[in-house]
Amino acid sequence: MVGPKVLIKEVNYFYGDFQALRNITLEVPPRSVTVFFGPAGGGKTTLLRLINRLNDMVEGTSMTGRVLLDGKNIYDPGTNVTHLRRRVGMVFALPLPLPGTVRENITYGLKLAGYRARGRMEEILERSLTQAALWDEIKDRLDSPANALSGGQQQRLCIARSLALEPEVLLLDEPTSGLDPISTRKVEESLHELKQFYTIIIVPHSIQQAARVADHAAFLLMGDLIEYRPGTEIFTTPEDRRTEDYITGRFG
């Protein structure tokens, strides 16, 4: 049994007086897909953003508890946050290509890290776009503006942009919410490939998607972790009444 890649331990999280997460503890195993699902306002995105400390950018928040990456608390005062974010990549709900070309988008993170080697860049460009199932579609348009791509292509570009940094953990916050069914399937298929190399945590945009991709799934309801079990079990035989109600569509 390998240790957890990410360990969230007794985390409470507040936006001002509002408590968004209540005493959350869960383990994310390496090289697998873990799903955070539940109704809106349940704390899924907050929990996700804690893992690369993106919530640091929001004013007026506070937290207790620990988040461990490979056994090290990423909230220790000595943590290098920019280095952490290279290890824990993130893809957002809307495709957010940066101004510039496809190539510039992919190499932006490397440029930030002070990376210069030209030949390696080409290699990384092809590898990350291939992993995001985009290379064949746009290999001839690497120098055209990123926002000229279709929405689905843009979102896969954003995934590739994160992968270019070879993160250990990849966080995806409803990555297919703006996409058509075909693009959605492509993204889900690439997740299947990617979990051989990366630890993936995803907030899905539907229960169906959650059930399709989850190795493990956590059901979050109004800041509480209700149930956290392997995906094959939680969606077929939920233990908690509230999980069952949500999955069967009785509320949500």
Partner 1 sequence: MDRNRTQQIGFAVLTVSTIAVVGPILVVIGIVLVEGARAISWEFIFSMPYNGMKAGGIFPAIVGTLILTVGTALAAIPVGVAGTIYLAEYARDTWMTRAIRLAIVNLAGIPSIVYGLFGLGMFVLFLHMGTSIVAGVLTLAIMTLPVIISTSEEALRAVPIEFRTVSASLGGTRWQGIRYIVLPQALPGIITGTILGLLRAAGETAPILFTVAAFYLPRLPQSPFDQVMALPYHLYVISTQVPEMPVSVQYGTALVLLILVLSMNVAATVLRSYFRRRRQW
Instruction: State the nearest-atom distance from the C-beta of 117 to partner 1, in Å.
Output: 17
For residues 77-96, which are near partner 1 according to CB under 8 A? 82-83, 85-86, 89-90, 92, 94, 96
Q: Could you give the C-alpha distances from 93 to 115, 155, 158, 162, 225, in angstroms and in order? A: 28, 9, 10, 14, 22
Binding residue (CB under 8 A) for partner 1 from 57, 62, 181, 236:
57
Residue 104 or residue 244: which is nearer to partner 1 going by CB? 104
Tell me the window of 62-70, 125-133, 142-150, 186-194 that interacts with partner 1 (CB under 8 A): 142-150
* Sheet bearing 18-28, strands edge to edge: 18-28, 6-15, 61-69, 72-73
For residue 152, what are the CA distances in angstroms to 9, 88, 95? 35, 23, 8
Rounded Cα distance, 153 and 20, in Å: 33
The token duo for 213 is: 């991709």
Examine residue 99 and tell whether it contacts partner 1 (CB under 8 A).
yes
Q: How many residues does the chain have?
A: 252
Characterize the bridge pairing of strands 88-91 and 216-221.
unpaired
Q: Could you tell me which stretch among 5-13, 105-113, 191-199, 234-242 binds partner 1 (CB under 8 A)?
A: 105-113
Least gap, CB of 52 to partner 1 (angstroms): 7
Asked whether position 195 contacts partner 1 by CB under 8 A, the answer is no
Round to whole Å and give the CA distance between 52 and 47. Answer: 10
Q: Of the ranges 126-134, 158-166, 191-199, 238-246, which one interacts with partner 1 (CB under 8 A)? A: 158-166
Residues that bind partner 1 (CB under 8 A): 52, 54, 57, 59, 82-83, 85-86, 89-90, 92, 94, 96, 98-100, 108-109, 111-113, 145-147, 161-162, 165
